[in-house]
A and B are shown apart, each in its own frame.
Chain A
């Protein structure tokens, strides 16, 4: 469950969106072969380049570019106006004091300095890191485990897959946040069930020690989306490897660690990067379950919640921009680290 709500990228409660593990354009099959004439009826001469022909080819290339640019125009305009522009505006604003009621006032690095001293910011970072680094591995382990179970061919696979996938679609919604708040509340379902077994529960959502755990559980509940991707990845592993291993006498465990896991590493990497990026941007669940406060006692104060509070609660847009840029840097750094580390453990079979 990643929550990147906003006109930028409405949160995909289900699938983790994002770039392929290798962040290059889909190279296979698209390599432009220079000089291959594609226009209708044009000369396919293979003779030496004569100036008129070269001019025609050059002008053809320009025309081709123009066509492409026209197709890309909406996207490009959108990029400039809604993405690139705001990114740089955000950078500028992060150096100012801006409340929207009066023009921005230049502050230099004061916002960033304040961030370093801000205990609530530190708390929100701790909370967010705990959330990401506990819920994402948990979610992926569940996803992989279930995918392995389902991959061996189970009758009714489609039904199981749907059942496990459905929560991913719903989890980003306010409805589920409401449900979660009730069932983990003082008189909620979880406590009623615990009561049957004789354990007295507390209000899990309102207790500083447990509140974040309920959010972690909610994110783990959405393992269905990465599971589907794992299933697809598992399908790509050729059966003959397993057969060969079986012939060599390798047991189930050995087969898993020697064949499945290594060949699955690109998909694991993909899921890891995406789920992490999504988890860092999580907002809705924490907001609804804590009533907007990040409470109790800031136990669920995710970074994005604090950003919202400073930016749209107190209207300190400059500070919020500084926070946003810092988040960008953190995510970029972690993603870069992921990619760098990937060289060590991701195994591409091609």
Chain B
């Protein structure tokens, strides 16, 4: 999983071709990113300007949108950020623990029914969440878990996100079995192998899983919409949407400012960990 297997060498080709290729790529990149850049620039423009001035360079700068938007909802915005963060962190811990356990079994242990269980695990990846959501909602409401964070976090501790099992299995398979065998010959039990050998070596896969889990949970609107009805528990996506409904026509500047704040953690992870993301992605696609 190094870059060498993924990045092609810098090519040759005529200078003209290379320049025009760069030009095309840059142009396309600008078009791709323009909406994002425009949102950032609009967040520092006064709201009236947003409707009149399509350029990225604000003729007037103001931080008012951030200041006012922060307190525009029932709670200051960091309240929602914390709610989202707690759930996301819980999800990350749950996923790392339960998915790595299952992945070790699938990747390293031979047991009766392994093929069958693995196929079943893969099949769940194709399940539309909507088949599960109604009965899950009923189950959680009977348990009294609606309006708590439990429905969002507990299933993660039971490897509900099978995708990460798959990701980690692919990774662990690439680790040399000799390490396991040596440890076994030394009399180590499987748990020790798992904890002392495989896990430390799987840090790249664990990191990828952690980052993806965090981002997906941070962005997850549907289940948070359904399971969190108390406004005090609102997470960032739900809070943003209620902001849009309540003040969308009149407060675009503040809305954009808070949207940027909401995206910041994702962007941060992207910058810091994009290697993990792209490599993790690529691994799932390769045989």
Which A residues are closer than 8 A to B by beta carbons? 3-15, 17-20, 23-26, 28-30, 32, 38-41, 61, 64-65, 67-69, 71-72, 74-79, 81-83, 85-87, 89-90, 93, 100, 146, 149-155, 157-158, 160-167, 169-170, 172-176, 178-183, 187, 189, 192-193, 196, 221, 225, 228-229, 231-236, 266-267, 270-271, 277, 280-281, 283-284, 287-288, 291, 304, 307-308, 311-312, 317, 320-321, 323-325, 327-328, 331-332, 335, 350
Q: Tell me if B184 and A38 are in contact (CB < 8 A).
A: yes
Query: Given A67-B109, A179-B35, A235-B6: A89 and B138 within 8 A (CB)?
Result: yes
Q: Work out how many contacts link A and B, with CB atoms closer than 8 A.
A: 402
Query: Do B266 and A25 have beta carbons less than 8 Å apart?
Result: no
In angstroms, Cα B286 to Cα A350, docked, is 13
Complex Cα spacing A149 to B222, Å: 36
Of A7, A174, A180, A181, the residue contacting B152 (CB under 8 A) is A7
Where chain A touches its partner, the secondary structure class is helix
B106 and A25 contacting across the interface, CB-CB below 8 Å? yes
Whether the Cβ atoms of B212 and A12 lie closer than 8 Å is yes
Q: Does B178 contact A (CB under 8 A)?
A: no
Q: Is the CB of A6 within 8 A of B39?
A: no
What's the minimum C-beta distance from A198 to chain B, rounded to whole angstroms? 14
| Closest B residue to A348 using CB positions | B287
> Do B6 and A232 touch (CB < 8 A)?
yes
A142 to B64, CA, bound (A): 39
Q: Which of B134, B139, B186, B221 contacts A320 (CB 8 A)?
A: B134
| CB pairs A–B below 8 angstroms (25 shown) | A5-B222, A6-B136, A8-B155, A9-B162, A15-B212, A15-B281, A17-B284, A40-B184, A72-B105, A82-B158, A85-B139, A149-B21, A154-B11, A154-B18, A161-B278, A163-B33, A165-B277, A166-B267, A169-B266, A174-B219, A178-B255, A192-B53, A233-B286, A281-B128, A288-B244
Contact yes or no, A312 B226, CB < 8 A: yes
Q: How large is the interface on B (under 10, 10 to 19, 20 to 34, 35 or more residues)?
A: 35 or more
Q: A11-B216, A68-B111, A178-B244 are in contact. Are A74 and B159 (CB under 8 A)?
A: yes
Bound CA–CA A178/B254 (angstroms): 12
Minimum Cβ distance to chain A for residue B248 (Å): 8
Q: Is B71 an interface residue (CB 8 A)?
A: no
**A77 in contact with B158 given A14-B212, A18-B125, A173-B262 (CB within 8 Å):** yes
A336 CB, min distance to chain B CBs, angstroms: 10
Instruction: Give every chain B residue within 8 A of A228 (Cβ-Cβ).
Output: 278, 281-282
Contact between B220 and A11 (Cβ–Cβ < 8 Å)?
A: yes
CB-CB under 8 A from B213, the residues of chain A are 10
Q: Write out the residue numbers on chain A whose beta carbons fall within 8 Å of the beta carbon of B5.
A: 235
Q: Which of B132, B186, B216 has the most CB of A within 10 A?
A: B132
Point out the residues of chain A lying under 8 angstroms from B170, CB to CB: 26
CB contacts (< 8 Å) of A328 on chain B: these are 127-128, 131
Is B75 located at the chain interface by the 8 A CB criterion? no
Query: A23-B119, A86-B139, A283-B222 known; A173 and B266 CB under 8 Å?
Result: yes
Q: Are B32 and A175 in contact (CB under 8 A)?
A: no
Known contacts A25-B118, A179-B256: A71-B194 contact under CB 8 Å? yes
Shortest CB-to-CB span from B118 to chain A, Å, is 4
Bound: A30/B266 CA distance, A: 36
Q: Are A324 and B131 in contact (CB under 8 A)?
A: yes
Shortest distance from the beta carbon of A269 to any chain B beta carbon, whole Å: 10
Taking CB as reference atom, which chain A residue is nearest B5?
A235
Q: List residues of chain B with CB within 8 A of the CB of A5.
A: 129, 220-225
Chain A residues lying within 8 Å of B97, measured Cβ to Cβ, are: 74
Indicate if the CB atoms of B280 and A155 lie closer than 8 Å: no
Chain A CB within 8 A of B79 CB = no
B252 contacts across to A, CB distance below 8 A: 182
